[in-house]
Chains A and B, each alone.
Chain A
Amino acid sequence: MQSDRHRGVSRRTFLKAVGAGAVAVGLSGLPAFRAEGQPPTLRILQWRHFVPPYDEWFNTVFAPKWGERNGVNVVVDNVGLAEIPGIAAAEAARVAAGQDPGHDLIQFNSPPASFEPQAAAEAHREVIQELVNTHKVGPYIELAEKSTFNPVTGRYFGVSDNFVPDPLHYRRDLWDQAVAEVGGPPEPVSYDALLKVGRKLKEMGHPVGLGLSQEIDTNMWLRSAMYSWGTSVQDEESNVVLDVPPYREKTLDLLRFVKALYEEAMFPGVFAWTAASNNEEFLAGRISVAMNAISISRTAHRQAAEALARGAGPDHPAVQLAVNTEITERAPEGPEGARGLEHVMGVYVIWDTGNTRVIEAAQQLLIDLIRSYDPDVAEQEGWGPGKFVASQAYDYPTFYNAIPKEKRLEFLRNDPVYAPIAEATGDRPNKLERIETAFEWAHNVGWPGPSNAAIDEVFNTFVIPTMFAKVAQGVASPEAALDEAAAEIRRIFEKWRAQGLVGGTR
């Protein structure tokens, strides 16, 4: 497989030739080498991954070995998730000014549609085509397509390498106990059940924990609820619809439902929610339900493993918490469906610097990185265990067959992180296997339309959480809050339509 890796990539084969001399990887900010004959430097900016072993794999195994193989000097800078937009804005301005941006490849954690004018869109398209056509790791799933392709300009503003499913986490022991008293489904499979069983859970001192604050988790679950209620910010053509009949009544209905859910099943802490809250509250055993990436499960597993390592028995609270932490099979169901979201959308952007050697190196790195989802491919290339295993199944492939389904399931069925805990407690080791269903229910921010620049601004200025929080806290009527939010959203859409980046007319 390794030998035909570069077949059909004649434009990039020269990299191999240059690669004869191995180059040590420097970690300081070296300037890009531009002269021919010298190895190019590829500077990557990405987040400090939630799963520490992933950074270890990427920075100390994949990047140096890949660089050595391809004769590219790879430099990786890891920064906090929240810092990427600011750095990217400064770099985009440099690209536009014809300066050296500072990095050549940036991984965003949400679709960076507004950077499209400075992104190497053609290079992105080539990467996707090569992965799908040559390496047959496709299809490029719809969630990824909608998160990286702008139908108005026909350009790919990025290449998505991963998405992180956003399932509902719940405490099995508490849920069972509440259901035993008030009845209901065995799992929180619908919003109705959340409300009904949630009342009891709140009474028991373990309320439902879905944020109503200006942060990512709130943004995600409220959209998930909107989609399941049959409403959304925009339609397929990027017209603003949340306040337009027939969507208006659905949005209002959901606003009223969320107010009821807050009053009857939640607690004022949801207004102070931060990105860390659902982890903290869940792990402290205070809340019974949360919507989050599998970070809740993973942190519970880690704390349980630490307790076991200290010699604690299976009855230790930290161990029991891990055992009782479950994810649901799909997103909770609303009146019009059970639709969920991604929690993190990994999107790589190559800056359009005109420096073809570096751009081609970035393309090749992305191709090899995505192919390295498959543990066997990664092992063969000499940079195992690959993206899926290193991220402990946190990074889910956007190229459906980058790691074949049976290999995904094989990993999840005998999850190496949870298996020791399962063994110590007699629990089943495949707790996270259900994450696989995310392919069926995970939608993009902006669904049913694309994740465009206007959607991104609405998302990042927390218009939707503000609308719901005002109604839930009783400072605005559903109608007033909706009208205010819709007016703000229209202002945002008009701006981006004038830029020629967003479609729709209303």
Chain B
Amino acid sequence: MAVAQPRAAVEGALPRGTLWLERASLLGSVMLAPALIYIVAFVAFPFGFALYLSMTDATVGNPYGSWVGLRNFVEIVQSPTFLRTLKNTFVFTVVSQLLILILAKVLALALYRDFRGKGLVTFLILLPWAAPISLTTIGWLWIFHARFSIIDWALRQLGLLGPNENMFWLGRPSLAMAAVIAVHVWRLLPFATVLLLAGLTAIPRDVLDQAEVDGAGFWRKLFQIQLPLLLPILSVAVLFGTIFTFTDMTVVYVLTRGGPFDMTQVLASLAFFKGIHGGNLSVGAAISLFLFPLLLIAAVVILRLARRAEVT
């Protein structure tokens, strides 16, 4: 992004004492410094320490360990459980983000209209976002309960399940995976909806009216006007949801503990079971940091591409 600063033109007009504040790079540094110092002071050590842990043989009782290089990483890639976990983490994140996007878009369009009771409806849709996830996931545990599932009860009332039949949501691999995704969608949908709703509201009415005059139908309006204009806010919603889903441990930890047989295990929960409950701190650190090198490479590649795009 070009940062043209008409510096010389303005400086002379201002009192001398605050002049340094008008020097862009200096002011920039001053404004950035507190955040940067805070982050470095509090994150650099823990993060560096975690990286160090992943390359040692540390355990919970011996939290400094000794250096073993990349051995932990070599070890975990040989573990079928880990590979399964890696895949699950990506699948859960991608599928839930896709669902959230689609559902949030539909819901935002529905809320965009004026109708009676809109306030109440909006409130009811906001609820999951306000709830502490550690508590609501315990609620979901009952909703998906092997015996008392309230979904099963509803299905029984509808005659879709026999009187003593159950779906065993968390006991069947595919249903358990669906359950984990459902909880993620449930908790993140409100925020994505609100973002999209705000974005929709911000699209000037006359742009849409003009399109309608030009004979654009619903889909054309959607794809050619709304979506492109919503792109920035969509990306906020997606990235936000990605962070929350990709690094979340609570949902899996409470709902399935990775089961049935590791079919819903994710990196964060596996790292916790291995590193904390199992005491194998270094391997736990390696599991949670496994993606770090890949993410770093991705960052560099993205930046290169971005730079090239900017030059041309």
From 69 to 125 in chain B, residues with beta carbon under 8 angstroms from any chain A beta carbon are 75, 78-81
Q: Is A394 an interface residue (CB 8 A)?
A: no
Instruction: Establish whether residues A453 and B80, one from each chain, have CB atoms under 8 Å apart when the complex forms.
Output: no
Residues of chain B lying within 8 A (CB to CB) of residue A292: none
Instruction: Establish whether residues A460 and B283, one from each chain, have CB atoms under 8 Å apart when the complex forms.
Output: no
Instruction: Establish whether residues A272 and B170, one from each chain, have CB atoms under 8 Å apart when the complex forms.
Output: yes
Q: Is B139 an interface residue (CB 8 A)?
A: no
Instruction: Establish whether residues A268 and B171, one from each chain, have CB atoms under 8 Å apart when the complex forms.
Output: yes
Cα A116 to Cα B274 with chains together (Å): 17
Residues of chain B lying within 8 A (CB to CB) of residue A271: 168, 170-172, 259-260
B174 nearest CB across to chain A (Å): 12
9-residue interface stretch from A173-181, A229-237, A417-425, A465-473: A465-473
A44 nearest CB across to chain B (Å): 20
Instruction: Establish whether residues B279 and A457, one from each chain, have CB atoms under 8 Å apart when the complex forms.
Output: yes
Instruction: Establish whether residues A88 and B60, one from each chain, have CB atoms under 8 Å apart when the complex forms.
Output: yes
Instruction: Establish whether residues A473 and B260, one from each chain, have CB atoms under 8 Å apart when the complex forms.
Output: yes
9-residue interface stretch from A60-68, A69-77, A401-409, A492-500: A492-500
Instruction: Establish whether residues B61 and A117, one from each chain, have CB atoms under 8 Å apart when the complex forms.
Output: yes
Q: Is A269 an interface residue (CB 8 A)?
A: yes
Give the residue name and chain of the A residue nearest to B68 (CB).
A498
Cα A89 to Cα B168 with chains together (Å): 34
Cα A26 to Cα B63 with chains together (Å): 32
Query: 0/1 per residue, B270-305, Cβ < 8 Å to A?
Result: 001111111111010000000000000000000000
Cα A434 to Cα B137 with chains together (Å): 38
Cα A280 to Cα B148 with chains together (Å): 9
From 63 to 122 in chain A, residues with beta carbon under 8 angstroms from any chain B beta carbon are 85-86, 88-89, 92-93, 96-97, 113-119
- Can you pick out 29 interface pairs between chain A and chain B where the beta carbons lie within 8 Å of each other? A85-B277, A89-B60, A89-B276, A93-B63, A96-B63, A114-B61, A119-B61, A212-B260, A213-B171, A213-B259, A215-B259, A268-B166, A269-B146, A269-B147, A272-B259, A280-B147, A281-B146, A284-B147, A460-B273, A460-B278, A461-B274, A462-B259, A462-B273, A465-B259, A491-B79, A492-B278, A499-B57, A499-B59, A499-B62
Give the residue name and chain of the B residue nearest to A119 (CB).
B61
Q: Is A214 an interface residue (CB 8 A)?
A: yes
Give the residue name and chain of the B residue nearest to A205 (CB).
B164
Residues of chain B lying within 8 A (CB to CB) of residue A214: 256-262
Query: 0/1 per residue, B131-172, Cβ < 8 Å to A?
Result: 000000000010011111000000000000000101011111
Q: Is B267 an interface residue (CB 8 A)?
A: no
Determine which residue in B171, B172, B281 has the highest number of CB atoms from chain A within 10 A of its CB, and name it. B171
Q: Is B64 an interface residue (CB 8 A)?
A: yes
Instruction: Establish whether residues B276 and A85, one from each chain, have CB atoms under 8 Å apart when the complex forms.
Output: yes
Cα A306 to Cα B216 with chains together (Å): 68
Q: Is B200 an interface residue (CB 8 A)?
A: no
Cα A491 to Cα B75 with chains together (Å): 8
Cα A457 to Cα B277 with chains together (Å): 7
Q: Is B234 an interface residue (CB 8 A)?
A: no
Instruction: Establish whether residues A469 and B260, one from each chain, have CB atoms under 8 Å apart when the complex forms.
Output: yes
Interface size on A, residues (CB 8 A): 55
B166 nearest CB across to chain A (Å): 7
- In the complex with contacts A89-B276, A461-B278, A499-B59, A213-B260 CB distance below 8 A: yes
From 33 to 83 in chain B, residues with beta carbon under 8 angstroms from any chain A beta carbon are 57, 59-64, 75, 78-81
Q: Is B176 an interface residue (CB 8 A)?
A: yes
Instruction: Establish whether residues B281 and A89, one from each chain, have CB atoms under 8 Å apart when the complex forms.
Output: yes
From 320 to 371 in chain A, residues with beta carbon under 8 angstroms from any chain B beta carbon are none
Instruction: Establish whether residues B171 and A96, one from each chain, have CB atoms under 8 Å apart when the complex forms.
Output: no
Q: Is A270 an interface residue (CB 8 A)?
A: yes
Residues of chain B lying within 8 A (CB to CB) of residue A462: 257-259, 273
- In the complex with contacts A271-B172, A491-B79, A96-B279 CB distance below 8 A: no
Instruction: Establish whether residues A470 and B261, one from each chain, have CB atoms under 8 Å apart when the complex forms.
Output: yes
- In the complex with contacts A213-B259, A462-B258, A495-B57, A457-B280 CB distance below 8 A: yes
From 24 to 50 in chain A, residues with beta carbon under 8 angstroms from any chain B beta carbon are none
**B interface, size bucket:** 35 or more
Determine which residue in B57, B61, B276, B277 has the highest number of CB atoms from chain A within 10 A of its CB, and name it. B61
Residues of chain A lying within 8 A (CB to CB) of residue B64: 96
**Dominant SS at the A interface?**
helix
Given A214-B257, A496-B59, 20 additional A-B pairs, CB 8 A: A85-B277, A89-B279, A113-B279, A114-B59, A114-B61, A114-B278, A213-B257, A268-B168, A269-B166, A270-B171, A272-B170, A272-B176, A453-B59, A456-B279, A461-B273, A462-B273, A465-B259, A469-B259, A473-B260, A491-B75
Q: Is A12 an interface residue (CB 8 A)?
A: no
Instruction: Establish whether residues A116 and B61, one from each chain, have CB atoms under 8 Å apart when the complex forms.
Output: yes
Residues of chain B lying within 8 A (CB to CB) of residue A134: none
B159 nearest CB across to chain A (Å): 19
Instruction: Establish whether residues A473 and B276, one from each chain, have CB atoms under 8 Å apart when the complex forms.
Output: no
Cα A136 to Cα B260 with chains together (Å): 47
B287 nearest CB across to chain A (Å): 11
Cα A85 to Cα B273 with chains together (Å): 10
Residues of chain A lying within 8 A (CB to CB) of residue B63: 89, 92-93, 96-97
Give the residue name and chain of the A residue nearest to B169 (CB).
A272
Residues of chain A lying within 8 A (CB to CB) of residue B276: 85-86, 89
Residues of chain A lying within 8 A (CB to CB) of residue B145: 272, 280
Instruction: Establish whether residues B168 and A269, one from each chain, have CB atoms under 8 Å apart when the complex forms.
Output: yes
Cα A456 to Cα B280 with chains together (Å): 10
Instruction: Establish whether residues B80 and A484, one from each chain, have CB atoms under 8 Å apart when the complex forms.
Output: yes
Residues of chain A lying within 8 A (CB to CB) of residue B172: 268, 271
Instruction: Establish whether residues A215 and B257, one from each chain, have CB atoms under 8 Å apart when the complex forms.
Output: yes
Cα A35 to Cα B133 with chains together (Å): 43
Residues of chain A lying within 8 A (CB to CB) of residue B59: 114, 453, 496, 499
Instruction: Establish whether residues B147 and A460, one from each chain, have CB atoms under 8 Å apart when the complex forms.
Output: no
Give the residue name and chain of the B residue nearest to A215 (CB).
B257
B147 nearest CB across to chain A (Å): 6
Cα A86 to Cα B276 with chains together (Å): 6
A196 nearest CB across to chain B (Å): 22
Instruction: Establish whether residues B57 and A498, one from each chain, have CB atoms under 8 Å apart when the complex forms.
Output: yes
Residues of chain B lying within 8 A (CB to CB) of residue A498: 57
B251 nearest CB across to chain A (Å): 14
- In the complex with contacts A284-B147, A461-B274, A114-B260 CB distance below 8 A: no
Cα A115 to Cα B61 with chains together (Å): 4
- Name the one of B57, B169, B256, B279 contacting A453, with C-beta atoms under 8 angstroms: B279
Q: Is A125 an interface residue (CB 8 A)?
A: no
B50 nearest CB across to chain A (Å): 12
Residues of chain B lying within 8 A (CB to CB) of residue A491: 75, 78-79
